Structure formats: C-alpha cells, structure tokens
Chain A
Amino acid sequence: MAINIKGKKKRWNGMDLFFVLIIAAVIAAAVFVIGNMNKSQQSAKTESITIEYTVEFRQVNNSALGTVKEGDIVRDPDNKRNIGTVISVQSVPYSKITYNPNDGSVYMAENPDVSDLVITIRAEATHSDSGYYVNDARFLVGRATNIWSPGFAGSGYCINIREID
C-alpha cells in the first residue's frame, strides 16, 4: 500500500496481496450467495400487458348475487389497491357430484340455494416466471384470489387468465 510513514514510501508485499485476494474472494462469495438467495425472484417483470382474469367463487348464497356488476372497480383486500374492472358476471347453480346406486351412474346435482359466481376482470398487469401481477397482487390459474368490490367481498380461485392483444 502506498502510504508514507515517516517519509518512507511503503511498498506492496505478500501480505497486502493476500488481503486483496481475501477481499476479492469475500466479494465473490457475497455475489454468489446473494445470487442464489435471489433465485426466487425469477426473471424481471416485463412491460405492462392487458389481461382478463376469471375468478370463481363457489357456493355463494343466492342473496349475494347481483351485488357485483359490470364496471365495478375491484380491489385487493390486502393492499387496497385497484386490481381491475369487472367486465363480466355469471352465476351457475352450485352442483355436486352425486352417485346413483341404482344404475351406477353419476351426475351433478344442483343446489338451488347457492351458486357459483364467475367474475371476469380486466386489468393492466406485468408477467414474470412467478405469475401475473396487478398492482402487486399475484394471479395464477389455480391460486386463491380475494377481491373486494363496492358491494361484494369474496375468496375464490382464479380459473383462467387471458392476455389481450
């Protein structure tokens, strides 16, 4: 190290070189470890895309149908952020597989009191290896999804995601 001590110029020696190598090794190790720790972050999110995602809410009481409408803004209950606008609302009677022992057949028996509510929402999103993100809310087919709208709150599963050109 070029340091003047009492007028003498200090010269590099083996120990200095050793320290430099150690510091380089520590930096390399840190980069390696941090790189592995970040493996979960996957690829960087890309540009914004428009998606339509569909969420199914099972066994919704029929009295709650009609509380969510096209044009409603929906929010993520966790961060209260806007996660899109409802573009379609459908409901079908909730049905459950039922076995008929007389003939060995199965059929889907409907329950007249509850329905499956299917809501499609359009939003601006980004996409990465870990899914679609709308205002930090993550969407994947098969993943649990919670939404709030002015007249409805529910927990369902995302059943479809479509990118709009």
Chain B
Amino acid sequence: MDNNTKRRLGVLDLAIIIVLVLCAIVFALRFYGRAEISGEDLTGKYTISFIVSDVRHTTADAFVKGDRVYVATDDTCIGVFERLDSNNPAAYYAEDPSAGIVKVYYPEGTRIDLTGTIISEGVMNDDGYFANGSYFLAPGKKISIYTGHVFVDITLSEITEYAE
C-alpha cells in the first residue's frame, strides 16, 4: 500500500466487512443456545432411560446396540442405543361395570411396552440436561426417535450420570 496516499474504502473492503458481519451473525445464532446455559456444567456421558408404550411385539427386534439415535423432528443425534431393559405386555385400561377402570395386559405376542437405555454425551447443569451441549432433554419429555433400524415414540424416564 502506498503510505503517501489516503486509502479509500473499496468494493473489496466492503465485501470483507459484510462477510465479517455475516460471520458474526452465524456464530451468534449457532452458539446462542449454549450461551444461555448457566451454572456449574458437568460435561460427560449420561444414561438416558426411556419408555416405549404399546408397540407391536416385533418392534423389540429392531433395536440394535450401537445404533445412533436421532430425534425425528430435527435429526439431532442424542446418543447411541445401548440396550432394552424390559419387554412386557402392553398395559390396557378397560372399563369394568363394577370396578371402574381396570388395568389389564395384552396377551403375549400382541402389543408390548419396552424400556431401554441410550448413552448420550452432553452437559448437565442447573437448567437440566443438554445432549451435545445444546439439545434439552428431561424426564417426561416425549419425542419421536429413529435409528438405522427402527422408528418409535419414546418418553424419557430418567437421565443419570453414566457408570461403566
């Protein structure tokens, strides 16, 4: 650059400034969720327990250990499927003229309830658990998930620190 001439703002300078501003906006949007997380963060592996209610009995066979688990609505990976913990006949609530609502169970080989475990990496702090540091999950939350083999609706039941 010529030190004797006053440099004027050129088209290239303007383009770089615009790119810089866009870059800053993208970063701000990308990390906004994380910036809101406050308190003491405990980053690490967590065990997410879940319930699958009232599915066909063959569905249990489609859970494969090691499959990545994605949220169906936005394709966020929340962890890796670890195991099924229980496989029982699905509950059915029938009306009984004398006893009111009674809980009975589907016959074997029809509908089942499952419980299982996902291993997830994320952050636990005062605000709750965030898979990958940004995706909020909590017991009671209902989400549709898929792996490479199965698509189901689950209800989260517990999130605890992973123990080997």
A residues at B contact (CB < 8 Å):
5, 8, 10, 13, 15, 19, 22-23, 25-26, 29, 33, 36, 39-40, 42, 56, 97, 99, 101, 104, 106-108, 127-131, 140-143, 157, 159-161
B2 CB-CB contact with A under 8 Å:
yes
Q: Which of B26, B70, B94, B151 contacts A141 (CB 8 A)?
A: B151
7 smallest beta-carbon distances between A and B, as pairs: A40-B75, A99-B94, A141-B62, A143-B151, A140-B151, A142-B151, A141-B150
B34 CB-CB contact with A under 8 Å:
no
Interface of A is mostly: mixed
CA distance A39 to B31 in the complex (A): 16
Residues of B within 8 A of A5 (CB): 2
Residues of B within 8 A of A101 (CB): 96-99
* Residues 52 to 111 of chain B near chain A (Cβ within 8 Å): 55-56, 58-59, 61-62, 67-68, 70, 74-77, 92, 94-99, 102, 104-107, 110-111
Q: Quick check: A36 and B30 within 8 Å, CB to CB? A: yes
* Residues 14 to 39 of chain B near chain A (Cβ within 8 Å): 16, 19-20, 23, 26-27, 30
Chain A residue with the shortest CB-CB distance to B17: A22
Residues of A within 8 A of B30 (CB): 33, 36
Q: Which of B20, B106, B146 contacts A22 (CB 8 A)?
A: B20
Name the distance in Å between B123's Cβ and chain A's nearest Cβ: 17
Q: Quick check: A106 and B104 within 8 Å, CB to CB? A: yes
CA distance A128 to B149 in the complex (A): 9
* Band of interface residues on B: 35 or more
B11 CB-CB contact with A under 8 Å:
no
How many residue pairs link A and B with beta carbons under 8 A? The number is 106
Name the distance in Å between B36's Cβ and chain A's nearest Cβ: 18
Q: Quick check: A39 and B76 within 8 Å, CB to CB? A: yes
CA distance A59 to B154 in the complex (A): 25
Q: Quick check: B148 and A39 within 8 Å, CB to CB? A: no
CA distance A154 to B145 in the complex (A): 24
Q: Quick check: B149 and A161 within 8 Å, CB to CB? A: yes
Q: Which of A26, A97, A131, A159 contacts B19 (CB 8 A)?
A: A26
Residues of B within 8 A of A33 (CB): 26, 30
CA distance A33 to B2 in the complex (A): 38
B152 CB-CB contact with A under 8 Å:
yes
Q: Quick check: A161 and B62 within 8 Å, CB to CB? A: yes
B147 CB-CB contact with A under 8 Å:
yes
Q: Which of B20, B76, B102, B147 contacts A99 (CB 8 A)?
A: B102
B9 CB-CB contact with A under 8 Å:
no
Residues of B within 8 A of A143 (CB): 146, 151
Given contacts A5-B2, A129-B70, contact A106 B107 (CB under 8 A): yes
Residues of A within 8 A of B58 (CB): 141, 159-160
Given contacts A106-B106, A141-B62, contact A131 B146 (CB under 8 A): yes
Chain A residue with the shortest CB-CB distance to B1: A13
Q: Quick check: B106 and A97 within 8 Å, CB to CB? A: yes
Given contacts A140-B146, A141-B59, contact A104 B104 (CB under 8 A): yes
Q: Quick check: B147 and A129 within 8 Å, CB to CB? A: yes
Name the distance in Å between A160's Cβ and chain B's nearest Cβ: 6
